[in-house]
Amino acid sequence: PLPEMLDTSNLITFNGLANSSSYDAFLLDEERGRLLVGAEDHIFSFDLVNINRDHKMIAWPATPSKRDECKWAGKDLGKECSNFIRVLQPYNQTHLYICGTGAFHPICAYLEMGKRAEDNIFRLASHFENGRGKSPYDPKMLSASLLIDGELYSGTSADFMGRDFAIFRTLGDHHPIRTEQHDSRWLNDPRFIGVHLIPESDNPEDDKIFLFFKENAMDGEHTGKATIARIGQLCKNDMGGHRSLVNKWTTFLKARLMCSVPGVNGIDTHFDELQDVFLMSSKDPKNPVIYAVFTTSSNIFKGSAVCMYNMADIRRVFLGPYAHRDGPNYQWVPFQGRVPYPRPGTCPSKTFGGFDSTKDLPDDVITFARGHPAMYNPVHPIGGRPIMVRTDVDYQFSQLVVDRVEAEDGQYDVMFIGTDVGTVLKVVTIPRESWHDLEEVVVNNNLIFTSLLFFWLPQQQLYLGSALGVSQMSLHRCEVYGKACAECCLARDPYCAWDGAECSRYFPTAKRVLRTDQGLLIRSLAQPDTGIYHCQAVEHGFIQPLLRLNLQVIPTQRLGDILPGLPGAGGSVGHSAKHRVWYRDFLSLLDHPELNSVEEFCDRVWKKERKQKRVKTPNGNSQGKPDATGSSNPVIRPKASAPNAQKQQASPPQSRPWLQAGDPTAEEPAQSQNTQKAQSNLGILSSQAPKNNQKTQNGQKGQGGLAGSQVAGGSRASSQHANKWRRMQENKKGRNRRTHELQRPPRSV
């Protein structure tokens, strides 16, 4: 909740001004370490590390005459007749280009920032420009813009009444260019969400601008007045036509973005109201992963969804058939006739033809492009369905940002989803078998009065805008998961890991083996960790052995031989190690219907070994005995005598002294340097304690493995069964997470 976050300093808030609102135009300036925010009648500059430290402000209200004209036109003087900043784009190394609604008279200007942060410059230039075709007239209108190479691409309305919607290119040295006017086949009452530049090839002449928007369905495309989510493309070097489509786009194409849940009898549940788009960059700038947030347009069924798209599917649709109206019912069908050359939508470049400019294109190409701006096939999401769906809740998704986190067992995409009721969901998408089969884990659900999300990766900060102000919070809050290992593991937060003392931020460069007050913490269990570990106490120069632990590592593939009912075990593992979910074996072990404790698991392993001992090999050795090289085997045996333990101790890498932290005579245990990231392993610790001391040693969380412990002390006398029964009852008490603080420390796995 918000009060708790404020108390723990997890949320930093700028409460805003009494005479300003709508803090929803953001620009991140990493070079100067500033966050630029556009609001009503004001532009703010915040420190990225702490938004309440050294913030600057410029007042830019609408002129009194423009406010009066706005009022006379019937607009709300208090809510609409102000200068709402809607365009905030970097122009060059020293200036930004900003535009506002200007009380229904769009206006633009240059904001000087200086070349370096030390210049400490933040002032508005005195020269103002007409903002028509750059900023919307109405502050409630959805618009999007992008400034590249001195040219501004905008999707907005171009008139006072909000009826002439277009995609514009302004500024620069060329004549302004726009979409065809008053043609519903091109744009039909669109609401623009985002504009992005995505390269098509290594040749800059092939660069394309992609626009994401939603619009009313075209006539005959859908029964009733339905909303359709769209992705549009146009060439960056489009100069318009020569005799037709003069100063109009000649390469504009659009396709439908599908996000639906397959239903029975072929009836799908569609999410058509596109709300937000986020591009996750990859190593190849030509192929980012696209995340999109959708909601339903129905007043009866309320739901939200997140879908993922790849550029290969999008390009395939734009190379597919064009939509064409034909037949007796004049319905939309795929165009079957001859497509002119060069194919409409292709950028003029040396890559795909010999045309230097769109003004050189043949007349039949321009004519075809004018009448066929839409593609017939839709763009389907990765996997054919959403990666996340929310229904039957009192909120809908509104914004989205995604962070790619490097965890011990691979990469995870963490989604921060804003809702229309002021909450933020932190969701991890985890591949089960592949990216076509994802598991959704809601890590956090925090109440924050937010309407917009923006994040800064270097410092792991999330910025949230609203009508009331701006807030800042960390992407990770590991301290809220407590100090116990089990709670930290079960939180399933890729940002966090147990460090031996508490739940803290995980770093990929962290050591795999740590020394803690409780002993050694192996954060990622691997085969070379097999061996004998010694726990010793040092007092007045005397060394007292406390515990001898034998660790055997069982590969996940072999678990099916021991526990046939364990999900995911056996030879059915068909996906790579990086797609293994580290906590699955842990949860399966805890929830196994036939196992009440880790001790029973160990007993089952030993019973299986005793059965195999009856079957002798030809040379007389029993099956399942560990070999001299230290390789693991699914059959584990507790060491029966000290001489045997010393023998195992003498063969590295099995011998590992387990020393208590702070021991003045302790030496750092030798670790194998060739530790590999294999699939999840299960570790079994069998131990002997001097003088029948019964101890339970904590296991630890590792992103790639799982460790359990079993202590067997003293001789196997006739009272063994009674002691075992008493110990099992105590273990069951300790498993009650609500009362274990009063009984004994929790058993960590």
Counting beta carbons within 10 angstroms of the beta carbon of residue 613, is it exposed (0 to 12), middle (13 to 18) or buried (19 or more)?
Answer: middle
Report the alpha-carbon distance of residue 396 to residue 384 in Å, rounded. Answer: 22
DSSP symbols for 95-114: EEEEEE-TTTS-EEEEEE--
Burial 383-416 (b: 16+ CB within 10 A, else e): eebbbbbbeeeeebbbbbbbbebebbbbebbbbb
Specify the higher pLDDT residue, 711 or 744: 744
- What integer pLDDT is reported at residue 591 of this predicted model? 52
Average pLDDT value for the chain: 77
Confidence at 143, pLDDT banded by 50, 70, 90: very high
Report the alpha-carbon distance of residue 736 to residue 749 in Å, rounded. Answer: 15
- What integer pLDDT is reported at residue 20 of this predicted model? 86
Give helix 720-734 / helix 598-613 axis angle, nearest 10°: 140
Record the tokens describing residue 107, joined without a space.
Answer: 């206006």
Sequence-ordered list of residues with C-beta below 8 angstroms from that of 520, at least 6 positions apart, any chain: 513, 514, 533, 656, 658, 659, 669
Residue that the structure tokens 């959708």 belong to: 294
- What integer pLDDT is reported at residue 499 of this predicted model? 84
Sequence-ordered list of residues with C-beta below 8 angstroms from that of 626, at least 6 positions apart, any chain: 530, 552, 632, 633
Q: Which residues are paired to 705 by β-bridges?
A: 681, 702
Record the tokens describing residue 197, joined without a space.
Answer: 């530049």
Question: Is 709 in contact with 531 (CB distance < 8 Å)?
Answer: no
Give the pLDDT confidence of 232-241 residue by residue, as tens digits: 999 999 999 9
- What number is the average pLDDT over the span 256-284? 89
Q: Which residues are paired to 510 by β-bridges?
A: none
Report the alpha-carbon distance of residue 428 to residue 466 in Å, rounded. Answer: 25
Record the tokens describing residue 422, joined without a space.
Answer: 């002021």
* Residue 46 backbone dihedrals phi, psi, to 5 degrees: -110, 150
DSSP symbols for 571-596: GG--S-GGG--TTHHHHHHHT-TT-S
Tell me how far CA of residue 100 lies from CA of 35, 41, 302, 463, 713, in angstroms.
18, 9, 33, 22, 77
Does position 611 have pLDDT exceeding 70, yes or no? Answer: no
Question: Is 46 in contact with 106 (CB distance < 8 Å)?
Answer: no
Closest to 149 (Cα-Cα) out of 116, 176, 125, 173: 173
- What integer pLDDT is reported at residue 606 of this predicted model? 62
Sequence-ordered list of residues with C-beta below 8 angstroms from that of 673, at least 6 positions apart, any chain: none
Query: Which range (107-121, 250-264, 668-682) has the least confidence?
Result: 668-682
**Percent of the residues in the chain that have a pLDDT greater than 70, as a whole number:** 67
Sequence-ordered list of residues with C-beta below 8 angstroms from that of 200, at least 6 positions apart, any chain: 206, 207, 208, 286, 315, 347
Report the alpha-carbon distance of residue 276 to residue 114 in Å, rounded. Answer: 32
Closest to 219 (Cα-Cα) out of 332, 106, 61, 376: 332
Alpha helices for 617-734 (secondary structure H) = 642-649, 720-734
Confidence at 598, pLDDT banded by 50, 70, 90: low
pLDDT winner (highest mean) among 584-588, 597-601, 664-668, 735-739: 597-601
Query: Which range (289-298, 495-504, 739-748) has the least confidence?
Result: 739-748
Give Cα 283 distance to the centre of its chain.
16
Does position 619 have pLDDT exceeding 70, yes or no? Answer: no
Record the tokens describing residue 554, joined without a space.
Answer: 């069982």
Confidence at 369, pLDDT banded by 50, 70, 90: very high
Does position 56 have pLDDT exceeding 80, yes or no? Answer: yes
Counting beta carbons within 10 angstroms of the beta carbon of residue 734, is it exposed (0 to 12), middle (13 to 18) or buried (19 or more)?
Answer: middle
Sequence-ordered list of residues with C-beta below 8 angstroms from that of 695, at least 6 positions apart, any chain: 546, 547, 687, 689, 711, 713
Report the alpha-carbon distance of residue 427 to residue 422 in Å, rounded. Answer: 16
Residue that the structure tokens 């570990």 belong to: 533
Specify the higher pLDDT residue, 497 or 595: 497
Q: In 3-state terms, what secondary structure has residue 523?
A: coil
At CB < 8 A and 24+ separation, what contacts does 288-293 make? Answer: 288/198, 290/314, 291/400, 291/402, 291/415, 292/212, 292/229, 292/257, 292/259, 292/400, 293/397, 293/398, 293/399, 293/400, 293/417
* Residue 166 backbone dihedrals phi, psi, to 5 degrees: -160, 165
CA dihedral 153, 149, 252, 228 (to 10 degrees): -40
Confidence at 386, pLDDT banded by 50, 70, 90: very high
Record the tokens describing residue 40, joined without a space.
Answer: 């009503």
Question: Is 261 in contact with 383 (CB distance < 8 Å)?
Answer: no
Sorted by where each begins, the domain ranges of the chain are: 411-501, 511-743
Confidence at 428, pLDDT banded by 50, 70, 90: confident
Report the alpha-carbon distance of residue 174 to residue 358 in Å, rounded. Answer: 13
Specify the higher pLDDT residue, 729 or 573: 729
Report the alpha-carbon distance of residue 625 to residue 623 in Å, rounded. Answer: 6
Question: Is 549 in contact with 697 (CB distance < 8 Å)?
Answer: yes
Give the pLDDT confidence of 537-592 residue by residue, as tens digits: 888 888 888 888 888 888 777 766 666 555 544 444 444 444 444 445 555 555 55
Give the containing element (helix H, strand E) for 421. none
- What integer pLDDT is reported at residue 309 of this predicted model? 97
Give the pLDDT confidence of 286-343 residue by residue, as tens digits: 999 999 999 998 777 889 999 999 999 999 999 999 999 876 777 889 999 999 999 9
- What integer pLDDT is reported at residue 604 of this predicted model? 66
- What integer pLDDT is reported at residue 555 of this predicted model? 79
DSSP symbols for 603-645: HHHHHHHHHHHTSB-TTSPBTT---TT----S-------HHHH
Q: How far apart are the first and last CA of the chain?
A: 29
How many CB atoms lie under 10 A from the CB of residue 288?
A: 18
Q: Which DSSP state fits 492?
A: -
Report the alpha-carbon distance of residue 559 to residue 556 in Å, rounded. Answer: 5
Does position 398 have pLDDT exceeding 80, yes or no? Answer: yes
Rg of the chain (C-alpha set): 32
- What integer pLDDT is reported at residue 175 of this predicted model? 93
Helices (H) and strands (E) in the chain, counts: 11, 40
- What integer pLDDT is reported at residue 60 of this predicted model? 96
Does position 97 have pLDDT exceeding 80, yes or no? Answer: yes
- What integer pLDDT is reported at residue 733 of this predicted model? 52
Query: Which range (201-205, 431-435, 723-727, 735-739) has the least confidence?
Result: 735-739
Specify the higher pLDDT residue, 66 or 725: 66
Residue that the structure tokens 């269990």 belong to: 525
Give the pLDDT confidence of 162-217 residue by residue, as tens digits: 889 999 999 988 999 999 998 999 999 999 999 999 999 988 999 999 999 999 98
Question: Is 167 in contact with 187 (CB distance < 8 Å)?
Answer: yes
Give the pLDDT confidence of 703-712 residue by residue, as tens digits: 333 333 333 3
- What integer pLDDT is reported at residue 621 of this predicted model? 46
Query: Which range (256-270, 458-472, 714-728) has the least confidence?
Result: 714-728
Does position 605 have pLDDT exceeding 70, yes or no? Answer: no
DSSP symbols for 451-474: SEEEEETTTTEEEEE-SS-EEEEE
